Amino acid sequence: MSDNTQKLWGGRFTGETDPLMHLYNASLPYDYKMYKADLEGTKVYTSGLQKLGLLTEDELKKIHSGLEEIKKEWDEDKFVRHPNDEDIHTANERRLGEIIGRNIAGKVHTGRSRNDQCVTDLRIYCRDLLNDKLFPDLQALVDVMIKRGKEEIDVLMPGYTHLQRAQPIRWSHWLSSYATYFTEDFKRLRQIMDRINQSPLGAGALAGHPYGIDREFLAAGLGFDGVIGNSLVAVSDRDFIVELMFWGTLFMNHISRFAEDLIIYSTAEFGFIKLNDAYSTGSSLMPQKKNADSLELLRGKSGRVFGDLAGFLMSLKGIPSTYDKDMQEDKEALFDCLVTVEHSILIATGVISTLFVQKENMENALTMDMLATDLADYLVRKGVPFRETHHISGECVALAENLKLSGIDKLTLEQYQKIDSRFGPDLFETFNFEQSVERRDATGGTAKSAVLKQFENLASQIHTI
């Protein structure tokens, strides 16, 4: 028997497929992940055929029973793959024929093309992965950061610009900054879901369905929010995949920056945090080493996800309408992107929930020069224009440096008043890190009340859906 008799497209061909071509063409090694979506799509599609009178109730019952048996085989890892199984669609239909007979199984593809079938499966797969994993995992990551931030609200640390000490902030404020990024990622992913959850099923190969199938019925049965209104677009649109992978690159950019901060903070030079042993490794040569490999991998795998997007965009950019085999390249890139993102969320959650904050080291890193802006603000409150106070404060910093003092708080009142007579004895109240952060109580600031308000807002956003 020719292997072409096993293929969905084999009738036109009389020769055998080149074995290398078969391997090159096959996608089952990776698209098997969509087996649930494929079986679900076939189940609803055949219900649509029965509604048209193209299947009898008895035939539909046998088909659905066979599909359930196939699902059980996949679930229990007992599905036996055939050498000619080109993809998940071919494999499932071939197995259905073995279970209920080819005559009935051969009807399930009536009016349907793999063009609308495969993209339907992809949309279902992506939707389910987001709902079952990415959304709850992102919520858990943000929840851990909020919980930790509330517990460690009193810990102060340097805030940085240009990787130079800038102003004192709360450790919780740093946690809130990345919790904000991840919450925005969550919201952005929700918006993409609206475009993912549209049904292409019933569009046929490209021109539409020849038997007038009820596409709204199919969409509702598969849990889609609507129907893609143009059959040409329905089978060829991969924008939702590009958007998902773009979302993945942006999320991994945030994760990479998050990891880089923690890598720096974990070094002996900073000593702000210690990673849990579960997220560290040692050196094969130097027994004293404790390497932040979890964070380095988060940073490194971001490049992998960026590459998935760039590679698929190059595959997609020059193909003509509508469906072309180039589009098969969507799955490996997409699956790799989504798995990498999912695992990265879980690793980041584990890291942040188990690391040890070295409060004393953080607070010892605070230096009085970081209060130079507060010194300028002191004069602002006395009515001096800020541009003038900025210059005056800079002179104070320069004088302390020239005198080799440990900080601007070591200058005497007399020395301050030589620079500007408007300095009074109360200026020394400025040199208090706790008061400095508490002065910044406007929305988004680092005061305790402001940070707690940020956490309240983030929690309400991440759990609104």
Q: pTM (2 decimals)?
A: 0.91
Of the residues 22, 64, 109, 162, only one is catalytic, namely 162
Same domain, 336 and 389: no
* Model confidence band, residue 4 (pLDDT cutoffs 50, 70, 90): very low
Task: State how far the Cα of 454 lies from the Cα of 448, in Å rounded to an integer.
Answer: 10
Same domain, 329 and 427: no
pLDDT digits (tens, 9 = 90+) for 252-297: 999 999 999 999 999 999 999 999 999 987 666 666 667 889 999 9
CATH number at residue 74: 1.10.275.10
Same domain, 178 and 301: yes
Domain-ending residue, one of 304, 333, 362: 362
Which of 90 and 290 is assigned the larger pLDDT? Answer: 90
| Average confidence (pLDDT) over 429-437 | 96
Active site residue 283: yes
CATH number at residue 266: 1.20.200.10
Same domain, 149 and 101: no
Average pLDDT, the chain: 93
Task: State how far the Cα of 308 lies from the Cα of 329, in Å rounded to an integer.
Answer: 10
* Model confidence band, residue 9 (pLDDT cutoffs 50, 70, 90): very low
User: Taking a C-beta distance cutoff of 8 angstroms, is the pair 142, 215 a contact?
Assistant: no
The number of distinct structural domains making up the chain is: 3
**Which of 82-86, 154-158, 310-314 bottoms out in mean pLDDT, i.e. has the lowest?**
82-86
Task: State how far the Cα of 116 lies from the Cα of 199, in Å rounded to an integer.
Answer: 9
pLDDT digits (tens, 9 = 90+) for 302-353: 999 999 999 999 999 999 999 998 888 999 999 999 999 999 999 999 999 9
Domain-ending residue, one of 309, 331, 362: 362
User: Taking a C-beta distance cutoff of 8 angstroms, is the pair 70, 38 a contact?
Assistant: no
Is 189's pLDDT higher than 70? Answer: yes
Same domain, 289 and 425: no
Q: Residue 8: its pLDDT value, please?
A: 55
Q: Residue 17: its pLDDT value, please?
A: 64
With tokens 């999912």, the residue in question is 342
Domain-ending residue, one of 334, 362, 390: 362
| Average confidence (pLDDT) over 375-386 | 94
Of the residues 283, 321, 406, 460, only one is catalytic, namely 283
**Which of 13-17, 25-29, 307-311, 432-436 bottoms out in mean pLDDT, i.e. has the lowest?**
13-17
Same domain, 397 and 299: no
Q: Which of 406, 321, 330 is nearest to 367 (CA)?
A: 406
- Tokens of residue 163, six digits: 């990787």
* Model confidence band, residue 464 (pLDDT cutoffs 50, 70, 90): confident
Same domain, 195 and 302: yes
Which of 9 and 151 is assigned the larger pLDDT? Answer: 151
Same domain, 55 and 148: no
Cβ partners under 8 Å of residue 303, min gap 6? none
Task: State how far the Cα of 357 lies from the Cα of 171, in Å rounded to an integer.
Answer: 9
pLDDT digits (tens, 9 = 90+) for 42-62: 999 999 999 999 999 999 999
Same domain, 420 and 272: no
Task: State how far the Cα of 207 lies from the Cα of 322, in Å rounded to an integer.
Answer: 10
Q: Residue 1: its pLDDT value, please?
A: 37
Active site residue 162: yes
Same domain, 417 and 314: no
Which domain, by its residues, includes 403?
Answer: 368-462
| Average confidence (pLDDT) over 210-233 | 97
Same domain, 19 and 142: no
DSSP one-letter string for 385-411? -HHHHHHHHHHHHHHHHHTT-SSGGGS
What proportion of the chain, given as a percentage, has pLDDT over 90? 89
CATH number at residue 378: 1.10.40.30
Q: Residue 24: its pLDDT value, please?
A: 79
Given 3-state DSSP classes, what are the helix, strand and coil percentages for the chain, each rounded to the nearest 5? Answer: 65, 5, 30
Considering just the CA atoms, what is the radius of gyration of the chain in Å?
A: 31
What proportion of the chain, given as a percentage, has pLDDT over 70? 94
Cβ partners under 8 Å of residue 209, min gap 6? 111, 202, 203, 215
Same domain, 334 and 434: no
| Average confidence (pLDDT) over 72-99 | 95
Q: Residue 379: its pLDDT value, please?
A: 95
